[in-house]
Homo-oligomer: A and B are copies of this chain.
Amino acid sequence: MQESSSVESKTRSTPETPLLGRLRQMIVTGVVQPGDLLAETALAQDFEVSRTPIREALKQLEREGLVEVRSRVGTFVRKPTQREIHEMFSLKEAFEGLAAGLLARRGAVPELEQLKENVARSQRAVERGDAELYSQLVHEFHSTLVAGADNRKLTEHYDLLMNQLAYHRIVSQTLSLPGRLQNSKDEHQAIIDAISSKDPLAAELVMRRHVAASSQSAALAAMKEEDEEQPG
């Protein structure tokens, strides 16, 4: 299953102090809500350590954009602005497009098989109308695709981005939109086809279209009004 942190990958020079991961997960999964105060002293007591390691973790989270440290006032869980969400989806599109292209260039790798199996399971989830399972599979699909690009720097930046997007909550809302669920699965299949035919350009294009479509749904779900122009 997953590591202690939410979207974080396996490799890390320092073995990832559990503290940072646990705090990050609390934020990403919504255990603590935007605006909540994360006081060093209180956290230190909760985790039964001193303020120092807590403080270091909070500084990291600030760098990751998950919290805001207001000097001598407090550290607060941050909520991305609508603009930031839009910006991050642009980046998501670029990252996953790049990943699809790189994966297509690599050819037949284990990750490609994983993707095929993912779509098969997704098909069954769609038939059963199991939105919860499907949401999980969607996450796995994108995660596997990026991993398959075999580019650690890309993975690093991608994880950073997705943590800040607090992917789970936004996407699970998105998928409940009518029709989007079946569409999404078909698009995943199209992506696999493009990758399988070892056509990096096509793979990137299809992937980016897919992400753009999802993003639009997600943006709609996050905020009702706000009409955006779509590239094409």
A window 69-116: CB within 8 A of B:
69, 71, 84, 87-88, 90-91, 94-95, 97-98, 101-102, 105
B59–A59 touching, CB < 8 Å: yes
Is there an interface contact between A84 and B161, defined as CB atoms closer than 8 Å? no
In the complex with contacts A60-B59, A98-B94, A84-B153 CB distance below 8 A = yes
List the B side residues contacting A156 at CB < 8 Å. 65
Q: Which of A48-70 contact B (CB under 8 A)?
A: 55-56, 59-60, 62-63, 65, 68-69
Q: Please encode chain A, from 182 to 200, with 1 for each CB lying within 8 Å of some chain B CB and 0 for all others.
A: 0000000000000000001
Interface contact B154-A84, CB-CB below 8 Å: no
The quantity of this chain's copies bound in the complex is: 2
Given contacts A13-B62, A91-B98, A151-B87, contact A231 B200 (CB under 8 A): yes
Pair A153/B87 contact, Cβ less than 8 Å? yes
**Are A59 and B56 neighbours in the complex by a CB distance under 8 Å?**
yes
Say whether A180 faces chain B, with CB atoms less than 8 Å apart: no
Residue A157 at the B interface, CB < 8 A?
Answer: yes
- Chain B residue with the shortest CB-CB distance to A98: B94
A169 part of interface (Cβ distance < 8 Å):
no
- B71, B87, B95, B152: which contacts A94 (Cβ < 8 A)? B95
When each residue 148-174 of chain A gets 1 if its CB lies under 8 Å from chain B and 0 otherwise, what string results?
000111101100110000000000000
Distance (whole angstroms) from the CB of A164 to the closest CB of chain B:
8
Is A2 in the interface zone, CB < 8 Å from B? no
**In the bound complex, do residue B59 and residue A153 qualify as a contact, i.e. CB atoms below 8 Å apart?**
no
Bound form: Cα–Cα A62–B102 in Å? 27
A11 within 8 A of B: no
Beyond A55-B56, A56-B56, A90-B151: 11 further Cβ-contacts under 8 Å?
A13-B68, A59-B59, A87-B151, A87-B153, A90-B154, A91-B98, A91-B151, A91-B157, A94-B97, A157-B157, A157-B160
Closest 9 CB pairs of A and B: A87-B153, A94-B98, A87-B151, A94-B94, A88-B153, A157-B157, A91-B153, A56-B59, A13-B68
Supply 15 A–B pairs (Cβ within 8 Å), ascending by A. A13-B68, A13-B69, A56-B59, A59-B60, A87-B152, A90-B98, A90-B153, A91-B98, A91-B157, A94-B98, A105-B231, A153-B161, A157-B160, A157-B161, A200-B231
